[in-house]
Every structure is written in C-alpha cells, then in structure tokens.
Structure 1
Amino acid sequence: MDKKAALEALAALSQETRLDVFRLLVRSGRDGMLAGEVAEALNVRQNTLSANLSILVSAGLIRNQREGRAIRYFASMDGMQDLLGYLVEDCCGGKPELCQPLIRQVGCGC
C-alpha cells in the first residue's frame, strides 16, 4: 500500500457511519451482509448507506458481490492487512517483519 491509498482508507474510516459499517462487516465474517441488512442493523437510510458503501469499496476496505437484485458486502481482510502493514512498516526498530505474524493473524481466514 502506498501513502495515497493509506490516506484514502483512513479518510474512509474517519466517518462514524463508515466506521460502524466496516466493523459490522468484520464481525459478519465470511457470510458478509446484504446492503439492506446493514442498513437495518445500523438504522441508516438506504441512500445514505449506499454512498458510504461506495466510499469503503473505493478505499479497498470492503468488497461486494451481486446476488440477483441484491448486493452482499464483505470486509476486505486484504485491504485491512494492507493498511495495517503500511501503518507499522517502520516499526520494531526498522524490522517490520517482526510485526508480520500479527498482521497476517488479523485476516482470521475470512
């Protein structure tokens, strides 16, 4: 991940609804959630949610999959790992490889 992508991801997460959506989708794991389920769980209007989902997709933090007329959303564990990797790439006295096991573990196989 480069600096521009990291800034886009951090900006996407810096808004309350988008942070709530991302955390909800992380909790939902491999099953993800339909857009309507996300809206209902967070008590957010569909049109507001749609804009926020688009920003999170663009930032690489979530992904979607069409299911007929509905769209299912999932947290992008790769995107989250990339962001965490960028944030800690200079950690541990210049030995970021020491942090890699922790970053890989965040993916939890989802």
Structure 2
Amino acid sequence: MEITNATVALAALGQTTRLAVFRLLVEAGPSGRMAGEIAEALGLPGATLSFHLKELVAAGLVQSEARGRHVCYRADFAAMNGLIEFLTRNCCGGDTAQCAPAAPCGPEGCA
C-alpha cells in the first residue's frame, strides 16, 4: 500500500459510523454480513448505511457480493493488513520486537 491509498483508507475509517461498520465486518470474518443485518446491529437507516458502505467500498476496505436481491458485505482483510503494514513499516528502525502490538488480554489476564 502506498501513501495515497493509505490516506483514502484512513479518511474512510476516520468517521465514527464507518469505523463501527468496518469493525462489525471484521468481527464477522470472511463470511461477512448482509446489509440488513448491519443496519439492525448498528441501528442505522438503510440510506445512511448505504452511504457509509459506499465510502468503505470506494476506499478498498470492504467488498460486496450480490445475493439475489440482497447484498453481503465483508471486510477486505488483505487491504486491512496492507494498511497495518504501511503504518508500521520500518517501525522502531526495523526492530519490530520493540513496537509489535501487545497480545490482547483474555479472561486469564494479559500475556
């Protein structure tokens, strides 16, 4: 990923509703979620959701697939990982052990 693509992706994610939609799609995994499910989960009117999904698709962060009269959306994990790689490229002068994300905390505590 280059700076232009990263800027577009970050601008798309820099809006509260779009970030919530994207996080919901990341949680859904590769199977994605139907537009109606997303709208219901986030309490969004269809037109509002459609606008935000259009922006995420245009930024290359979300893919859509028609399923009859409905549309399924899924996070583009390659694009997401590309953005993360871009943001952390050459982190700490290449010493990735110094700036790698910490392991998430679970029920047993932090790793």
TM-score with structure 1 length normalisation? Answer: 0.83
% identical equivalent positions: 45
> SS of the counterpart of 1:64?
strand
Greater helix content: 1
Deviations 1:23-69 (A, max 9, x none): 00011112210001100100001001101001001111111111011
User: Once the 2 structures are TM-superposed, how far is the Cα of residue 85 of structure 1 from its aligned partner?
Assistant: 0.9
Could you tell me which amino acid in structure 2 is paired with residue 78 of structure 1?
A: A
Structure 1: gaps spanning 5 or more residues: 104-110
* Runs of 4+ with deviation above 2 angstroms: none
> How far does residue 89 in structure 1 lie from its aligned partner after superposition?
1.0
- For the pair shown, the structure with the greater C-alpha radius of gyration is 2
For 2:78 and 2:57, how far apart are their aligned partners in 1?
Answer: 12
The residue correspondences of 1:51-62 to structure 2 (distance < 5 A) are 51-62=51-62
State the match for 2:34 in structure 1.
Answer: 34
How many residue pairs get aligned? The number is: 99
- TM-score normalised by length of structure 2: 0.83
What displacement does 1:92 show? 3.1
Q: Residues 20-99 of structure 1: matches in 2 within 5 Å?
A: 20-93=20-93, 95=94, 98=96
